Chains A and B, each alone.
Chain A
Amino acid sequence: MPADPPRWTWSRLARLGLLTALTLSLVDLGLAPVERRLDARLLDGALRNGPSIAAADGSRRVMLHAPDGARREAVGIAGSSITYGAGVSDDETVPANVGALLRRAGDRRPVFNLSQAGGGPRDVLPVAAAMGTRPLRMLLVELQPHNFVEGVGHPPDEIGDDELPMLLAANAEQRRLLDAAEMRPSFQRRVEDSLSALAHRAWRAYRIRAHLWIDEQFPPMNVAWTLRRGAAAAGVLPRRFQGQSTNVGKLPWRRAYRDGQVPSAIQRLTVTGTRVDEVAYRPLVLLARLARVAGVPLVFYEAPLNLPFQREFHFMSEEDIARLRAFRETLLARMRADGMEVLDAPALPDDGYLDRAHLTPLGAHVMGRHLAAFLSTRLPPMSARP
């Protein structure tokens, strides 16, 4: 019996390869309007998950990809889920409010939401490094004083894939500072980043996969959140479902936790001491230095804290609260003595909170007004229309 002929030939393989490349190109062409829409919203600060590696990256990559003129006039606002906007829709976040208020006052400069859920000043270091070659007009960084109490400091995380290109964009003086802080990407990471950057430039679906793709840092709950956000944006769900927080109903906290309902113990604020954690404080100093070298004014703004919530559920005693206040004074005094500018938190209405610190649309608006008022006194007039 004659042997079976081979099922595949080189020409058949080549045809399949061409067909695959053609399909990918067509998909990329079809995604062009999606990317344009995303880019436009990104520059208004009304997009939290920008074209990036994963949803968790937020929209920090706008630092690298925004048009030069727009970026030079832009204000970057970076913080945790409070600023990121957990619990509100994209256009109700603090940065989106700041942008809208500035525009209402005739200032059309872009406002970038550079926050990350779970992020803090240490996570802003790559942003500050990128400012070395891609400066902003001003950078505002959220500060939660209780995160600097002695004993809460963690060793630095590994540099994330999305952070690498931002660190590599640092200028020479900043690189020296980063080297001294042992934030120097290895040769291997640089090679991987160069290849990834190539794919990023050439392949639109890869570039905007935060919105389309299931990724390593994209667990099923993020898929659920993405779908929920999409449904809310399309009007199928109420707008408040565009965000995410531990208060799943997205209601002001007194309405959310009623009839004997008690929030989870994760909402408890624990202040064990009154001394500043040196490991946690170091990134603040580095951040200030990186911004100074980049010539970008850096202002820390204190995030408001819902103390009535802590009292209501007996999470904090009066003694704890007094200790927290004393610690806050110590921290802020030290930061100011070290040449850092810190903006005190505004007083928020009781229904401005979802839980211990996350904001309702009202809370985010008050916070946005607070920051916009500060910016209006500090920002120079725009040099040109971005």
Chain B
Amino acid sequence: MNLLSWTFLVFSGASVALYYALPSPRLRQVALVGATVLWFTFGVWWHAVVAVAMATTTYLFGRWMMSRPEEKRGVVCALGVASFVGYFVLFRYLALWSGYDPTAAVGLRWWMPNPLLAPLGLSFMMFEGIAHLADLYLGRTEAPGSWWSHVVFNLFFPTRVIGPMRRYEDFTRDINAPGRIAPDDVAWAARRILWGVAKKALVANPLGAFALFNLNPGLITAGARAPLVLGAALYWVYLFFDLSGYSDIVIGISRLFGVKVPENFHRPYLADNISDYWQRWHISLSAWVRDYVFNPLAIRWRGWTYGAPLAAFSSMVILGLWHGLELRYLIFGVWHGALLAGYMVYRQLFGRKPWGKRLAKSRAWSVAGWGFVVLNSVLSHLLFAVPTAAMGLQWLRAVTGV
């Protein structure tokens, strides 16, 4: 169900109305889960089964881990993480790797599982499940939660398509809160939803079509420099409006259910260094990578001067590959990993020197940094617009003439 569709509008409106028509939080949660199952069924019914299975996995591993002595929890945590990665690989890549004929999926009836359609929000559910297990393991939380609470967490339809990623504890606190919705919340949510729809429909959609038109393989092969440069620049702008527009809609709808979903974008176009950029762009994802990949690695390698930069590099490679096991996404990860690691090395070597501090405060340095970040963002996100890394290279050749 497209977020910008009449069906979604009617479905969301009806779900919110039903939610508040029910007297207790428990009944409301039942209604919410029922609505999400209906929502999944409207697309691909067995995706709801996968969501419940993943919720059950989180619950079972959480209980198992907490039932063991502290020093023996690591193995259970690792097994849980491996299960989530297994889900991801199974549903995302098994059909592809097994040589399944895509044309065989064309004639499948609606009730037959199509192995080519990976469950909606699969990667988000994987990350959220891993985060919960890691929090239990690291002692950030003590409560493994009930099976039902994990089902409600996973089957919350507003965030299932495009995130933002949530934390289990925050979500359960919000969803269990009694009370009715306040007019302030409705006004806030409506403003947020309308803002998101405007970003998506008035800016992202037309801009995206125009950008992709300028980046079509025919123009890349023909080496049409001006449209290629325009296409790349606009594609990045399109990505921002598209993703942040969707996030606004999701955040607004979630608020109507009383759930505060984390922000996902905070003016990334103002970042003047790459570290700042990743704290503003797709915040929930980069925060996850920071908390559950970078921090553990950086702590493990803390005795080595370049441990933290290497941890940043590794984190960004994983973030790149999260988009798909393709060369272009690997290049994206390596690219941003190198930038982030380079920036950290620079800060370590020169950041504390007097001239380094003066430079960091200067206007010219800030403007140059901003230009550098924008240039790299535009160029690296081009890898999402072209079908292959080779085509990206061809774009570069066409534009630079090299």
Contacts and interface: CB of A to CB of B under 8 A. Distances in A.
A294 to B, nearest CB: 27
B202 A214 contact: yes
A188 B7 contact: yes
A221 interface: yes
A34 to B, nearest CB: 21
Interface string A77-97: 000000000000000000000
Interface in A185-218: 186-188, 191-192, 195-196, 198-199, 214-218
B206 A9 contact: no
B4 to A, nearest CB: 8
Nearest to A194: B6
B297 interface: no
A215 B202 CA distance: 7
Interface stretch (B146-154, B178-186, B321-329): B178-186
Given A187-B110, A192-B6, A7 B187 contact: yes
Q: Quick one: which of A192, A217, A223 has the most chain B CB within 10 A?
A: A192
Contacts of A187: 110
Given A195-B10, A220-B210, A223-B206, A12 B183 contact: yes
Interface residues of B, number: 25
B7 A7 contact: no
Contact of A220 (B1, B9, B183, B207): B207
A117 B347 CA distance: 55
Contact of A199 (B6, B201, B205): B6
A217 B207 CA distance: 10
Contacts of B182: 6, 8
B307 interface: no
Given A6-B182, A12-B183, A216 B206 contact: yes
A192 B2 CA distance: 10
Contact of A7 (B184, B205, B207): B184
Contacts of B209: 216-219
Contacts of B183: 6, 8-10, 12-13
B1 A196 contact: no
B13 to A, nearest CB: 11
A53 B252 CA distance: 27
A265 interface: yes
B143 to A, nearest CB: 31
Contacts of A221: 210, 213
Interface in B213-252: 213, 222
A268 B116 CA distance: 38
A192 B6 CA distance: 6
A318 interface: no
B44 to A, nearest CB: 10
B97 interface: no
Main secondary structure of the interface of B (DSSP, over half): helix
B43 interface: yes
Nearest to A189: B7
Nearest to B203: A214
Given A8-B183, A8-B186, A216-B201, A191 B7 contact: yes
Interface in B73-113: 106-107, 110
A191 B110 CA distance: 15
B184 A216 contact: no
Nearest to A17: B190
Nearest to A11: B183
A312 interface: no
A338 interface: no
A7 B1 CA distance: 34
A214 B206 contact: yes
Nearest to B183: A8
A186 B110 CA distance: 9
A319 interface: no
A265 B219 CA distance: 11
Contacts of A217: 209
A182 interface: yes
B67 interface: no
Interface string A309-321: 0000000000000
B304 interface: no
Contacts of B201: 214-216
Interface string A214-255: 111111110100000000000000000000000000000000
A97 B107 CA distance: 44
Interface hub of B7, B106, B201, B207 (most chain A Cβ within 10 A): B7
B365 to A, nearest CB: 35
Contact of A192 (B5, B106, B213, B222): B5
B42 interface: yes
B6 A195 contact: yes
Contacts of B207: 219-220
Nearest to B103: A155
Contacts of A195: 6-7, 9-10
A191 B206 CA distance: 25
A269 to B, nearest CB: 16
Nearest to B234: A220
Interface in B12-54: 42-43
Given A182-B106, A187-B110, A13 B206 contact: no
Contacts of A214: 201-202, 206
7 contacts: A12-B183, A182-B106, A191-B7, A192-B5, A214-B206, A219-B206, A221-B210
Interface of B: 1, 5-7, 9-10, 42-43, 106-107, 110, 182-184, 186-187, 201-202, 205-207, 209-210, 213, 222
Given A8-B187, A215-B201, A220-B207, 12 more contacts: A6-B183, A8-B186, A12-B183, A13-B186, A187-B110, A191-B42, A199-B6, A216-B209, A218-B206, A220-B206, A221-B213, A223-B206
Interface of A: 6-10, 12-13, 182, 186-188, 191-192, 195-196, 198-199, 214-221, 223, 265
Nearest first, the 6 closest Cβ-Cβ pairs linking A and B are A195-B6, A219-B210, A8-B183, A219-B209, A216-B205, A8-B187
